[in-house]
Amino acid sequence: MTVPTHFGLDTLMKQLTRGIPGKLPGLSIVLIILLVTFSIGIPGFLSIGTLRSMMFQLPELALLAMAMALPMISGGLNLAIIATANACGLVMVVVMSALIPAGASGSAVMLGVAVGLAAGLAVGLAVGAATGLLIARTGVHPILITLGVQSMVEGTSVLLTQGKVVSGLPSAYGAVGNSLVFGIPLTFIIMAIAALVIGVLLKRTAFGIALAMTGSNAEATRYSSINVGRVLIKVYALSGILCFLAACLMLARFNSASSAYAKSYLLVTVLAAVLGGVDPFGGFGKVGGIILALGVLQVISSGCNLLGFSEYLTLGIWGVTLIAVMGVQSIGTRSSR
């Protein structure tokens, strides 16, 4: 069967090699302006303490943003990331509490933590893979499928816990959330390693190319002998694994789990992904752009917090920033033509 010219593999590869439109100049400019402005208005804003505070707050949101961005690159969306992360966290707390008796130490604690982490990983992987399978097999839009999965997972979590906060983690696990390695928060290092792995996966592997091609044009990708269904299952499974990693860091930070944690993060992850250059219609996106976007949002949040602004005003400023960056990038793209 002949592939239509405008759906050809050559056209897709040209699109892929062009990268993100505008290469995020607007975002970099906004970040520099924000840093200079807050440094002038807030004495000591560019201090080690402020930078370290930002590093403590970024990791779980960055992992969830990547969990959202991967399905977006494939042309979809994952509205179930928060529910999946909370389900992973609840399962890990329950398993660790059951396997680690009070006063236990050494190998008993390590075994309980290892089994708990394995259980959480299994939940994240299962929910993600099942979501991808449903999208691939039914052909229903990912928004509807993931909305259904979110309702099902969250409803099950609330039903089993009665909506209560579940605690009982060993103290050694909670210490991870405040640990420093050469002055850098351990949670930030974990996030950076995960971002590096995802970045290499997207840009240096056949799976990354297949993912971008699927997002650009799924029909043309099928003509290229790529199993689009299998790509979608892997994408959502990977999204589920990132939700598990986010749940691990949330447990270390809050020392507990709940079906109601981090609900406000959902739209922020979409904002960060779009702000970071992920095409909302699929096909393009870089991890570096997402991290840069989260840096911009975190600088705004920290600056507004130090100035005593309302958190609602901060949300409004985030929205204005999104529009401003899109405008700058659009102007830059037109000028380059």
287-306 helix and 48-57 helix, angle to the nearest 10 degrees: 120
| Phi, psi for 97 (deg, rounded to 5) | -65, -35
Within the chain, how many helices (H) and strands (E) appear? Answer: 15, 4
Whole-number pLDDT of residue 24: 62
Residues 6 or more apart whose CB falls under 8 angstroms from that of 324 comprise 26, 30
- Structural contact between residues 312 and 107, judged by C-beta atoms closer than 8 angstroms: no
Give me the torsion for CA of 179, 81, 128, 121, rounded to 10°.
20
Regions of the chain with pLDDT less than 50:
1-10, 12-22
Whole-number pLDDT of residue 249: 94
Whole-number pLDDT of residue 262: 86
Torsion-angle region of residue 42: left (phi > 0), alpha (psi -120 to 50) or beta? beta
Q: Is 257 helix (H, G, I), strand (E, B) or coil?
A: strand
Whole-number pLDDT of residue 6: 43
Whole-number pLDDT of residue 170: 84
Residue 258: which of 61, 56, 93 has the closest Cα?
A: 93
C-alpha distances in Å from residue 66, one per residue of 72, 245, 273, 328: 10, 11, 8, 24
Structure tokens that stand for 44 in this block:
């000591």
Whole-number pLDDT of residue 321: 75
> The pTM is what?
0.86
